[in-house]
Structures are given as structure tokens and as C-alpha cells.
Amino acid sequence: MTTSLELSTLLEQLALQLEHHGHWQRTSPSIADLSSTEPFAIDTLSASEWLQWIFIPKMNYLIENNKPTPKGVSIAPYIEEALKDIEGYNEIVRLCHAIDALGK
């Protein structure tokens, strides 16, 4: 399996887990909130919002347009800390670790 296909599969599984555990939103945050320049948009979005509205779409865009995906991605430490008390924590963190591992 190619790295892009593997990443696409992991992103799909991550989205499904977020939705399954009630962390998927139907309404997009405001343009201002999505325009944050802080890492992980920590000043305007929750970690699950960042995954849903910024990370997953950006990675899918890169894959769909045959662009290189970033190397050295490390989202799992942030997700581990930010989502430590949510339902589905283990599944979500496992997928984030798998995504990180692909970018090494």
C-alpha cells in the first residue's frame, strides 16, 4: 500500500472515530477561528475541531492533488494531552500515532 493510500485510510478512520464518539461537528467554526496562525489553532479551536476542520481536510487536499505530505508530522502528543478526557480517546490517539509514524 502506498503511503498516500495508507494516510488516506487513516484519515478516514480518524474522521469516523471522531464522528462515532460524538466529536464531529455539523457546523463549521467561523472564518476567523479557522484563520488562526497559532499551532493547532490552539487559541480558537478545540483539538477535535482542529482535526476535523484543518488537519484532515488539508491532508486530504495534499493527497488528492498529488502534493507531498509533510514529513516529521507529530500530532499525537498534542492530541494525547488535549483530548485525554474524551470518549474514544484510545482509538483517536492510536490513529494519530499511526499518522505520525507514516511521516517519519
pLDDT value of residue 33:
97
| Rounded average pLDDT over 25-38 | 97
CA distance 21 to 62: 26
Topology annotation, domain 3-24+44-102: de novo design (two linked rop proteins) (1.20.1440)
Is the predicted pLDDT of residue 73 greater than 80, yes or no? yes
Is the predicted pLDDT of residue 74 greater than 80, yes or no? yes
Residues 6+ positions from 42 with CB-CB distance below 8 Å: 36, 50
CA distance 4 to 22: 27
pLDDT value of residue 104:
83
* % of the chain with per-residue pLDDT over 70: 99
pTM of the full structure: 0.94
pLDDT value of residue 8:
97
Alpha helices in 36-88, H assignment, sequence order? 47-50, 56-64, 76-82
